[in-house]
Amino acid sequence: MNLFYRTYGNGPKNMIIVHGLFGQSDNWTSFARSISSTLPLKVFTLDLRNHGNSPHHPVFSMEALVDDLINFIKDNEIENPIVLGHSLGAKIAMHMLDEDECPKIDKLIVVDMGMRTYPMRYTHVELLTAMKETPISDFTSRKQIEDYLAQIIKSERYLNFVLKNIQRNSDDTFSWKINLESVDRHLEDILGGVEYRSAKNLPVLFLKGERSDYINEEDLEIIDKSFNNQKVVTISGTGHWLHSENPVDMEKEIKAFIG
């Protein structure tokens, strides 16, 4: 599958950013532009299958997502990249490390994600249900869609997150960028845990949101057993979306880690 991607900067080092569930590459535009303007990086931000501008496919398994990332690196001849993954994107990157076909990775940056199996969260179900039950093709303006969804999704952050998944078609109708049916069908699979055959030696930076519960004490024990060269840093004043809630401190820690 040919994933849609954007690039920033011109190297010589490479960085790949993998977004989370319901996200897309342009969620990371500000960060990619900033870090590529101050470090010698070429930054690739990609859209996962069934997200953003990448193709839709009925399969949305973790195996398929990992294969997509491996093939993206190989097909674009991206040498020794630093891989940054947020949430689901981090889970994909961590799974990739245990694959025989995994390309050589310089460093891994995990943004607010552990290695355990996660329970189905209310927000996952709530957002999927809200999008699936919205008669999006009946509306004639984005404002109408926003007003409709605002009655269902009370959190402004989640509402804006969902609204970024709207696209206007060539016939002036609206539709979802995300493949709702495929994502819904595979949700339990992609929430599964990561287990390694042996501890990994590459440098890994875990960034934890101060108010987030995605990385807890149990996760820290698993991380310590799974990586021989890992560091965990808490970013102050943040929940799960570190890159939008405290981009300055997040970028500072990443720059120090990259060196």
Strand partners, 46: 5, 18
Alpha carbon distance 76, 50 (integer Å) = 20
The pLDDT tens digits for 212-240 are 999 999 999 999 999 999 999 999 999 99
pLDDT > 90? residue 123: no
pLDDT of residue 119: 87
CB 236 within 8 A of CB 246: yes
pLDDT band at 112 (very low <50, low <70, confident <90, very high): very high
Domains of the chain and CATH, by start: 5-118+193-258 (3.40.50.1820), 122-186 (no CATH)
Q: Are strands 166-168 and 174-176 parallel, antiparallel or unpaired?
A: antiparallel
Strand partners, 7: 44
pLDDT > 80? residue 48: yes
How much is the average pLDDT of 10-37? Answer: 97
pLDDT of residue 121: 81
**117-121, 168-172, 224-228, 253-257: least confidently modelled range:** 117-121
**Strand ranges inside the chain, DSSP E:** 5-8, 13-18, 41-46, 82-86, 107-111, 166-168, 174-176, 204-209, 230-235
The encoded tokens of residue 208 equal 């934890």
Task: Kindly report the average pLDDT of the chain as a whole number.
Answer: 96
